[in-house]
Structure 1
Amino acid sequence: MIEKYDHLIEQSDLISRDLSWLSFNYRVLDQSMKTGRSLFDRLKFVAITASNADEFFMIRVGSLYNYLDYGKDRIDNSGLRAVPFKRKLLNDYKAFTSTQHDIFINSLKPEFSENNFEIATYDKLQKREKERVSNYFEKIVFPMLTPMVYDSYHTFPVLMNNILVFGVVTKTQDKKEKKKMSFIQIPQNLPRFYEMERKEKVIFVPIEEVVRQHINEVFKNVEIVSKTLFRVTRNGDFTLEESEDMEANFIEEMKKKLKTRKTGRVVRLEVEATYDKWLLRQLKNRYEIDDDNIIQVPEGGLMDYTGLWSIVKHDEFKDKTVETPKPVPPISMSEYEDQNMFKILKDRDILLHHPYNSIDPLLDLLDQAAEDPNVLSIKLTIYRLAKNSRVVSALLNAAENGKHVSVLFEVKARFDEENNMKEAQRLQRAGCFVIYGVGMLKTHTKLLLIVRREGEKVRRFVHMSSGNYNEDTARLYTDIGLMSSNEAYANDVQEFFNVITGHSVPDQYENLITAPREMRNKLIELIRKEEENAKNGLESGIVIKLNSLQDTDTIMALYAASRAGVKIKLIVRGICCIRPGREGLSENITVRSIVGDYLEHSRIYYFHNNGNPLVYSGSADMMVRSFDSRLESLFLINDVLLKQQAINILCFNLKDNVNAYEMNEDGSFTMVNAGEEKPFNIHKEFYRVKREGVLAAKIV
Structure 2
Amino acid sequence: MKTKVDYYDPKFFTNRELSWLDFNDRVLEEARDKSNPLLERVKFLGITQSNLDEWYMVRVASLVKLVEVKYQQPDASGLIPIEQLKEVNRKAHDQINKQYTTLNRMILPAINQVGIHLLNVEDLTERQYQFIRGYFHDELYPVLTPMADDSSRPFPFISNDSLNLSLRLTGKDSDKSLYATLQVPSIFPRVVKLPGGSNDFILLEEIIKQFANQLFVNYDIEEVSTFRATRDMDLDVAEEDTSDLLKKVQQQLKLREHGHVIRLEVDSNISGKLRKRLVKELKIDEDSVYEVNGPIDLTFLNKLASAVVGHDDLKYPPFKAYQAKELNSDHNIFDAIKKHDWLMQHPYDKFDSVVEFIRQASIDKEVLAIKMTLYRVSGDSPIIKYLGRAAQNGKQVTVLVEVKARFDEENNVHWARTLEKMGCHVIYGLVGLKTHSKLSLVVRREQNGIQRYIHMGTGNYNDVTAHFYTDLGLLTCNNDIGIDVTNIFNMLSGYSQPPFFHQLHISPHGIRDFINDKLNHAIKYAKEGRPVYVRMKMNSLSDKDMIAKMYEASHAGVKIDLIVRGICCLRTGIPGISDTITVHSIVGRFLEHSRIYMFDFDGDQQVYLSSADLMTRNLNRRVEQLFPVLQPDLTQRVLDIYQTMWDDNVKTRTMIDDGTYKRVDRRGHAPLNSQEYFAAQATKMVNAQQAVPRQKNDKQFEPMMSPQNQPDPFDEEDQDRGENQ
User: 5 Å matches for 1:14-413?
Assistant: 14-175=13-174, 178-199=176-197, 201-244=198-241, 246-248=242-244, 250-298=245-293, 301-314=294-307, 316-317=309-310, 319-320=312-313, 321-329=315-323, 338-413=330-405
- 1:584-620 superposed Cα distances (whole Å, 9 cap, x missing partner): 2111111010000110000000111232122111200
- Matches of 2:561 and 2:329, distance apart in 1: 38
- Matches of 1:608 and 1:272, distance apart in 2: 55
Structure 1 stretch displaced more, 530-539 or 29-38: 29-38
- Measured after TM superposition, the shift of residue 529 of structure 1 is 0.8
Q: What secondary structure, in the 3-state scheme, does the structure 1 residue paired with 2:181 have?
A: strand
- Measured after TM superposition, the shift of residue 276 of structure 1 is 2.2
Q: What secondary structure, in the 3-state scheme, does the structure 1 residue paired with 2:140 have?
A: helix
- Matches of 1:269 and 1:78, distance apart in 2: 28
- Measured after TM superposition, the shift of residue 14 of structure 1 is 0.4
- Matches of 1:475 and 1:318, distance apart in 2: 21
- Matches of 2:170 and 2:482, distance apart in 1: 73
Alignment of 1:451 with 2:443, yes or no, is yes
Structure 1 stretch displaced more, 87-96 or 234-243: 234-243
Structure 1 stretch displaced more, 221-230 or 438-447: 221-230
1:601 to 593, 596, 606: 593
- Matches of 2:9 and 2:163, distance apart in 1: 39
Amino acid at match of 2:370: I
CA RMSD of aligned residues (A): 1.8
- Matches of 2:588 and 2:414, distance apart in 1: 33
Count of equivalent residues: 675
CA contact (8 A) 1:548 1:573 kept: yes
TM-score, length of structure 1 as denominator length: 0.94
Which 5+ residue runs of structure 1 have no aligned equivalent? 1-8, 691-700
- Matches of 1:564 and 1:625, distance apart in 2: 28
- Measured after TM superposition, the shift of residue 327 of structure 1 is 1.3
- 1:362-388 superposed Cα distances (whole Å, 9 cap, x missing partner): 211111111111100000000111232
User: 5 Å matches for 1:505-544?
Assistant: 505-544=497-536
- Matches of 1:45 and 1:78, distance apart in 2: 30
Amino acid at match of 2:359: D
Amino acid at match of 1:186: V
- Matches of 2:329 and 2:443, distance apart in 1: 24
Amino acid at match of 2:453: F
Q: What secondary structure, in the 3-state scheme, does the structure 1 residue paired with 2:117 have?
A: strand
- Measured after TM superposition, the shift of residue 252 of structure 1 is 2.1
Q: What secondary structure, in the 3-state scheme, does the structure 2 residue paired with 1:405 have?
A: strand
Q: What secondary structure, in the 3-state scheme, does the structure 2 residue paired with 1:32 have?
A: helix
Amino acid at match of 1:304: D
CA contact (8 A) 2:379 2:411 kept: no
2:657 to 665, 673, 676: 665
CA contact (8 A) 1:118 1:204 kept: yes
- Measured after TM superposition, the shift of residue 336 of structure 1 is 5.5
- Matches of 2:653 and 2:492, distance apart in 1: 39
- Measured after TM superposition, the shift of residue 688 of structure 1 is 5.3
CA contact (8 A) 1:658 1:673 kept: no
- Matches of 1:272 and 1:688, distance apart in 2: 44
- 1:168-224 superposed Cα distances (whole Å, 9 cap, x missing partner): 112333327x4332111111111112211324x321111110011111011121232
**Could you say which residue in structure 2 is the equivalent of 1:697?**
none
- Matches of 2:378 and 2:118, distance apart in 1: 31
Alignment of 1:465 with 2:457, yes or no, is yes
- Matches of 2:455 and 2:327, distance apart in 1: 20
CA contact (8 A) 2:319 2:680 kept: no
**Could you say which residue in structure 1 is the equivalent of 2:710?**
none
Q: What secondary structure, in the 3-state scheme, does the structure 1 residue paired with 2:677 have?
A: helix
**Could you say which residue in structure 1 is the equivalent of 2:569?**
577
- Matches of 1:207 and 1:10, distance apart in 2: 52
Alignment of 1:545 with 2:551, yes or no, is no
Alignment of 1:493 with 2:491, yes or no, is no
Q: Residues 123, 687 of structure 1: CA spacing in aligned structure 2 closer, same or farther, 3 A cutoff?
A: closer
- Matches of 2:30 and 2:322, distance apart in 1: 26
- Measured after TM superposition, the shift of residue 115 of structure 1 is 2.7
CA contact (8 A) 1:117 1:203 kept: yes
- Matches of 2:74 and 2:205, distance apart in 1: 41
Which 5+ residue runs of structure 2 have no aligned equivalent? 1-7, 683-725
Alignment of 1:554 with 2:549, yes or no, is no
- Matches of 2:628 and 2:390, distance apart in 1: 30
Q: What secondary structure, in the 3-state scheme, does the structure 2 residue paired with 1:134 have?
A: helix
Amino acid at match of 2:202: V
- Matches of 1:415 and 1:673, distance apart in 2: 39
Q: What secondary structure, in the 3-state scheme, does the structure 2 residue paired with 1:198 have?
A: coil
CA contact (8 A) 2:327 2:356 kept: no
- Measured after TM superposition, the shift of residue 79 of structure 1 is 2.1
CA contact (8 A) 2:484 2:502 kept: yes
CA contact (8 A) 1:10 1:666 kept: no
CA contact (8 A) 1:236 1:260 kept: no
- Matches of 2:283 and 2:35, distance apart in 1: 45
- Matches of 1:87 and 1:35, distance apart in 2: 33
Structure 1 stretch displaced more, 277-286 or 159-168: 277-286
- Measured after TM superposition, the shift of residue 80 of structure 1 is 2.3
- Matches of 2:451 and 2:122, distance apart in 1: 70
- Matches of 2:453 and 2:402, distance apart in 1: 22
- Matches of 1:543 and 1:322, distance apart in 2: 30
- Measured after TM superposition, the shift of residue 361 of structure 1 is 1.5
- Measured after TM superposition, the shift of residue 637 of structure 1 is 1.2
Q: Residues 335, 42 of structure 1: CA spacing in aligned structure 2 closer, same or farther, 3 A cutoff?
A: same
Q: What secondary structure, in the 3-state scheme, does the structure 1 residue paired with 2:471 have?
A: strand
Alignment of 1:644 with 2:636, yes or no, is yes
CA contact (8 A) 1:328 1:687 kept: no
Q: What secondary structure, in the 3-state scheme, does the structure 2 residue paired with 1:554 have?
A: helix
CA contact (8 A) 1:437 1:443 kept: yes
User: 5 Å matches for 1:421-460?
Assistant: 421-455=413-447, 457-460=449-452
**Could you say which residue in structure 1 is the equivalent of 2:578?**
586
